[in-house]
Amino acid sequence: MMDKKLLSIALMTGMFLNAWSQPKNSKTSPVATASATTVNSTAKDPVIVTIAGSSVSKSEFERVYYKNNNKETAGDEKSIRDYMELFINYKLKVKEAEALKMDTSAAFKDELIGYRKQLAQPYLTDQNVNDNLIREAYDRLQNDVRASHILIKVNQDALPKDTLEAYNKIMKIRERLMKGADFATVARETSEDPSAKENGGDLGYFTGLQMVYPFETAAYNTKPGQISMPVRTRFGYHLIKVADVRPAVGEIHTAHIMIRVNANDPDSVKNEAKRKIFEIYEKLKAGEKFEDAAKQYSDDKGTASNGGVLPWFGTGKMVPEFEKAAFALTKDGDFTAPVQTPYGWHIIKRIEKRGIPSFDEKKNEIKNQIMRDSRSELGKASLVARIKQENGFKENIAAKDEYIKSLDSTLANGTYNDSVALKKNKTIFTLGGKNYTQFDFAQYLAKHQTKRTGISSQAIAHSQYEHFVNDECLSLEESQLDKKYPEFRSLMNEYRDGILLFDLTDKMVWSKAVKDTAGLENFYDKNKDNYMWGERLDATVYTCKNSDVASQARKMLKKKKTDSEIAATLNKDSSLNINIKEGKFSKGDNEFADEVKWIPGLSNDISKNNQVVFVNVKSVLAPQAKKLDEARGLITADYQNFLEKSWINELRSKYSFKVDEDVLKTLFQK
């Protein structure tokens, strides 16, 4: 996932990261635009601008320009000239960072190495394999599978004898099942999945991308009523019985009202939550709008403000209680009775239901899921095979086995010292003309060791050897990316400049604006007329269940009762009788404050949404300058803009730059 700084750098330098942009069997740019490609193919590449003694070619500027401008503005003279000014500012900041030697610091170098590893990932896989996996996953999403399983655990790094023991055990279980034994009963007796004791191994319905890949594949390849052969995953061996395959239920768009309850809440809190959700349910049945109720009552603050609307979801995405109730709704606009889940109580409204989105709509989401899934290793495995073939990979299995056999228990204990292998210099494999020795492998094992129980040092080493070979293959490929892919080299240069730009801008603008309190206060004093409150109403809004509650609230106000006393008294029987909101309201902040006359005193009753509202107007506040703390965010942002403009003016005075007008004009559309 892109971190905040990486995102900022990408936005500042106009970069767009495409995690699956590696070209298919090609060394052409995966991100180059048609315009950039055309320019690069021409023989002449004149200098378009010189900045602080460094020349920028027309093709370089055009490549960056077309990457960051849409087709509607590309070629427009004003757009190109404006972008040139931004480009000059960008390059001047980078030049200043270099002058300050920020590019020589250890922290900068380490950070650039880290980003290089991220940017290299799309190139370190076989895109053809990934494309096939995406299509396969989408095809599987068209159906939901209900299946049960029995698990016999075995470590994925187990020795062959332990693996065979687990395999024989699960095969004996399969023999019982094939003779007619009840699957659920046998699952409760034998499965090493703890949940099987309660559910008999039943996993319910699931769809593509929700199970580990080998399990998913076996489930989709097993016909209803049949039992699979043993399937190996990282958890062990599974037997899978498919109960049903149905067309995918699709996706549903819902809204909900939630009253939150925690499992460890006292009974009094749980009872109050239940009472409240059923009161809300009665209001909805009486005609109150769902979105109004969600805004007023829902404890899900992330959705309450927009009427409780949730993102689209399909099977397996929500807790079973919520999902079952949502998909049981038969018409748009219908809502459920209160539903209890581990998170509390919900009332769910169906907004819309649809089938699985088209492949093009779903493709990017599937890509991202596959990147986090074990199946992503298939693309890497294919690439590793190609790297081996291209770089003359040869193994000396005897030398490898000799070294592994010599290992003692320290590797399994996590205390292995590679110095014991200093003299073990036999070659175990050759790659790209380089010999990798037993000692190289020993260093790898020492670096990647952890304490392991129930597995021998030999088993660990055999498993780690494959990782060692793969890592070296990918490292070799990564080291050649700059030569193989010009666009990767350009991207790395942009990130180098972007990191420098980010760090120096943070120092000169962003952090400075936050830390320089005296400078911020001085800026505010000179510009406070830009931060004004309009006329405001100092008032309290009382939203009442009905006119009787409103009448009682008015009487209590006349008796000088406080708002907390009024709420405690009137909400004694129902938490929904009265809601009190105090504040200073500008026009547009509150619909009821807007509706009443801005005259001190109690307003008339306003009937709306089966409720009665009145406003206690305390005073009308004249326009006045906002205090610094009341608009600190906006003022700080403006101060940052002021600092940046001042800094850019200094840089433009400090360094020379010159645009070749004749070359620039060749970019303008005729």
Q: How confident is the model at residue 42 (pLDDT cuts 50, 70, 90)?
A: very low
Q: How confident is the model at residue 27 (pLDDT cuts 50, 70, 90)?
A: very low
Residue-level pLDDT at 6: 56
Strand-pair partners of 240: 149
Side chain identity, residue 428: I
pLDDT, tens digit, 9 for 90 and up, residues 347-364: 999 999 998 889 999 999
Dihedral sign, Cα of residue 586, residue 589, residue 591, residue 593: negative
Instruction: Give the HSE-up count for residue 95: Cα atoms under 13 Å, Cβ half-sphere.
Output: 20
pLDDT, tens digit, 9 for 90 and up, residues 420-476: 999 999 999 999 999 999 999 999 999 999 998 878 899 899 989 999 999 999 999
- In this structure, the strands spanning 202-206 and 143-153 are antiparallel
Which is nearest to 235 in space by CA: 374, 117, 345, 350? 374
Residue-level pLDDT at 70: 72
Residue-level pLDDT at 239: 96
- Note whether 240 and 187 are same-domain residues: yes
Average pLDDT, integer, range 603-613: 93
Average pLDDT, integer, range 45-58: 94
Q: Residue 184: which H helix or E strand, with range?
A: helix 183-190
- Note whether 587 and 547 are same-domain residues: yes
- What's the token pair of residue 595? 């509706």
Three-state DSSP class for 93? helix
Instruction: Give the HSE-up count for residue 570: Cα atoms under 13 Å, Cβ half-sphere.
Output: 28
Residues in the chain: 670
Distance CA 99, CA 507 (A): 15
Residue-level pLDDT at 75: 74
- Note whether 460 and 442 are same-domain residues: yes
In a domain, 204, yes or no: yes
pLDDT, tens digit, 9 for 90 and up, residues 623-664: 999 999 999 999 999 999 999 999 999 999 999 999 999 999
Instruction: Give the HSE-up count for residue 566: Cα atoms under 13 Å, Cβ half-sphere.
Output: 25
- Which position has the token pair 């952890």? 450
In a domain, 450, yes or no: yes
Residue-level pLDDT at 11: 53
In a domain, 132, yes or no: no
- Note whether 402 and 334 are same-domain residues: no
In a domain, 9, yes or no: no
Secondary structure percentages of the chain, helix, strand, coil, to 5: 50, 20, 30
What is the per-residue DSSP string for 588-646? TT-HHHHHS-SSSEEPPPEEETTEEEEEEEEEEEPPEEPPGGGSHHHHHHHHHHHHHHH
In a domain, 484, yes or no: no
Whole-Å CA distances, 381 to 127, 444, 638: 12, 20, 52
Residue 21 near residue 130 (C-beta atoms within 8 A): no
In a domain, 232, yes or no: yes
Residue-level pLDDT at 12: 55
Average pLDDT, integer, range 294-301: 92
In a domain, 445, yes or no: yes
pLDDT, tens digit, 9 for 90 and up, residues 495-546: 999 999 999 999 999 999 999 999 999 999 999 999 999 999 999 999 999 9
Q: Residue 397: which H helix or E strand, with range?
A: helix 397-405
Residue-level pLDDT at 63: 87
Average pLDDT, integer, range 84-112: 95
Dihedral sign, Cα of residue 381, residue 385, residue 390, residue 395: positive
Question: What CATH number is attached to the domain comprising 620?
Answer: 3.10.50
Residue-level pLDDT at 16: 35
Q: What are phi and psi of 302, to 5 degrees?
A: -70, -25
- Which position has the token pair 């170098």? 109
Say if residue 130's pLDDT is above 50: yes
- Note whether 475 and 570 are same-domain residues: no
Residue-level pLDDT at 14: 52
Say if residue 557's pLDDT is above 60: yes
Cβ neighbours of 612 (radius 10 Å): 21
Say if residue 601's pLDDT is above 90: yes
Q: Which is more confidently placed, 609 or 17?
A: 609
Average pLDDT, integer, range 213-231: 95
Average pLDDT, integer, range 139-154: 94
Say if residue 366's pLDDT is above 80: yes
Least confident of 156-160, 553-557, 658-662, 664-668: 156-160
- Note whether 277 and 242 are same-domain residues: no
Q: How far is CA 97 from the centre of its chain?
A: 32
Residue-level pLDDT at 71: 64
Three-state DSSP class for 663? helix
Question: What CATH number is attached to the domain comprising 203?
Answer: 3.10.50.40
Residue 330, domain extent: 251-355
Residue-level pLDDT at 401: 95
Instruction: Give the HSE-up count for residue 649: Cα atoms under 13 Å, Cβ half-sphere.
Output: 6
Distance CA 194, CA 199 (A): 10
Q: Alpha helix (H) ranges present in 480-510?
A: 481-484, 486-505
In a domain, 507, yes or no: no
Domain tally, the chain:
4
- Note whether 327 and 260 are same-domain residues: yes
Side chain identity, residue 373: D
Residue-level pLDDT at 76: 85
- Note whether 259 and 351 are same-domain residues: yes
Q: Count H helices and E strands in the chain, helices first.
A: 29, 21
Look over the chain and give the mean of its residue pLDDT values, rounded to a whole number.
89
Residue-level pLDDT at 173: 96
Distance CA 137, CA 366 (A): 7
Q: What are phi and psi of 183, to 5 degrees?
A: -60, -45
Q: How confident is the model at residue 64 (pLDDT cuts 50, 70, 90)?
A: confident
- Note whether 295 and 329 are same-domain residues: yes
Close Cβ partners of 148 (under 8 Å, ≥ 6 residues apart): 183, 184, 187, 200, 201, 202, 203, 240, 241, 243
Three-state DSSP class for 351? strand
Distance CA 84, CA 581 (A): 52
Residue 468 near residue 441 (C-beta atoms within 8 A): yes
Burial zone of 108 (CB within 10 Å; 0-12 exposed, 13-18 middle, 19+ buried): middle
Distance CA 351, CA 335 (A): 9
- Note whether 231 and 298 are same-domain residues: no
Distance CA 179, CA 227 (A): 12
Residue-level pLDDT at 319: 85
Say if residue 172's pLDDT is above 90: yes
DSSP annotation of 260 reads E
- Note whether 412 and 474 are same-domain residues: yes
Least confident of 70-79, 253-262, 370-379, 417-426: 70-79
Average pLDDT, integer, range 611-625: 95
- What's the token pair of residue 45? 């590449």
Residue-level pLDDT at 43: 45
Residue-level pLDDT at 15: 40
- Note whether 265 and 223 are same-domain residues: no
- In this structure, the strands spanning 313-314 and 427-431 are unpaired
Distance CA 346, CA 8 (A): 38
